[in-house]
Amino acid sequence: MGKLANRIALVTGGGSGLGKADCIRLAEEGAHVYVTDVNEDAARAVAEVIGAKAVALKHDVSSRGDWEAVYSRISSDHGRLDILVNNAGIVVVADPEETTEAQFDRTMDIMCKGVFFGCQLGLPLLAKSENGSIINMCSTASHLGFPPFFAYSAAKGAVRSMSKSLVIHCQDKGYKIRCNTLHPSAIETPMIQGAMGRPGQEVKVDEGVLPPGAIGAPSDVASLIVFLCSDEARFLTGGEYLIDNGSSIRP
Ligand SMILES: NC(=O)c1ccc[n+]([C@@H]2O[C@H](COP(=O)([O-])OP(=O)(O)OC[C@H]3O[C@@H](n4cnc5c(N)ncnc54)[C@H](O)[C@@H]3O)[C@@H](O)[C@H]2O)c1
């Protein structure tokens, strides 16, 4: 029996990078996983790797209609949701003077409004869980100053704040739903490869403690998600977890 046996999980942006690793780890721990992505082929490929415990769905997180369709499917399949990982994201590399209105709006629609839809429309299903867990993907960009990630940082900062209101709302309503935010630094995925303008670099998970400046592996994030969604983390809500090998505190 895994740590998440028979939990019902939804991971957005599950077709690539961190979302893909999350889906696979959650399923390894016994969860039934809805792998959703605007890139349906990518979602389907991940679901095929997982097998019978996974369902792939096309899902643009900036669309209210898509969220309603995904939740309607989960409701008719299981009647509840235990784990929501708001992971889908994009990055626009543009500084405060370069960022266009269209880039800003698109970033906010996917990474801020998408999380708003996911949390608000998901609460009725999550409230039926005995240990509901929302993981909202943020970034060290919501702590630090990164001029080239201007719109991205704004969206992650908004999600960081939104998550705190959600935590207190759920507690006050008596919902058994915890919510935590994760703040990785650079993790080796297609997103970071694109943002850094260089091809992939293999990260070995068995290297042990990593040196300063190292890039993390998707499994470094997925392992924390498994723990935060498990019964062992029942006292953990409202947390902000840096996953950065100490880089944010280095003078
Ligand atoms: N990789 C890093 O270094 C890093 C660091 C901090 C935070 N993050 C965050 O982690 C999350 C995942 O990033 P990643 O590095 O795995 O990126 P990635 O580009 O590898 O994967 C992102 C996935 O999101 C999907 N997506 C994009 N727009 C979407 C939309 N509108 N609706 C649904 N799906 C959509 C993509 O198709 C893709 O499958 C993001 O929220 C990102 O901001 C990543």
Q: What pLDDT was estimated at residue 199?
A: 54
Report the domain count for the chain: 1
**Ligand 1 within 6 A of CB of 107:** no
Q: What is the reported pLDDT for 101? A: 98
- The pLDDT score that the predictor gives to residue 195 is 78
Instruction: Determine which residue's CA is closest to atom 41 belonging to ligand 1.
Output: 89
For residue range 118-139, list pLDDT tens digits in order. Answer: 999 999 999 999 999 999 999 9
- 238 CB-contact burial (10 Å; exposed 0-12 / middle 13-18 / buried 19+): middle
Which regions of the chain are under pLDDT 50? none
Single pTM value for the model: 0.97
Q: For residues 177 and 175, what is the distance between their CA atoms, to the nearest angstrom?
A: 5
The single-letter DSSP state of residue 109 is I
Test site for ligand 1: of 18, 35, 105, most ligand atoms within 8 A of the Cβ:
18
pLDDT at position 198: 63
Six token digits for residue 194: 């694109």
75 within a domain of the structure (yes/no): yes
Pocket test for ligand 1, best of 10, 11, 12, 16 (most atoms within 8 A of CB): 16
* Alpha-carbon gap, residue 147 to 142, rounded angstroms: 12
55, part of any domain:
yes
Quote the ligand 1 centre to 174 CA distance (angstroms).
32
Question: Would residue 151 count as lying in a domain?
Answer: yes
Question: Whose alpha carbon is nearest atom 21 of ligand 1?
Answer: 16
| Within a domain: 239 | yes
The reply to whether 2 falls in a domain is no
- Residue 194: what pLDDT? 78
- Report DSSP state, residue 8: E
H/E stretch holding 240? strand 240-243
Residue 96 within a domain: yes
Residue type, 141: A
Proportion of the chain above pLDDT 70, given as a percent: 96
Max Cα–Cα distance, the chain, nearest Å? 53
State the pLDDT at residue 208: 83
Instruction: Please give the C-alpha separations between residue 222 and each of 36, 81, 86, 241, in angstroms, as whole numbers.
Output: 16, 19, 13, 13
What pLDDT shows up at residue 200? 54
Domain containing residue 192: 8-249
Q: What is the CATH number for 19?
A: 3.40.50.720
In a domain, 166, yes or no: yes
Nearest CA to ligand 1 atom 31: 60
Task: Give the pLDDT score at 203.
Answer: 55
Given this model, what pLDDT does residue 36 score?
A: 99
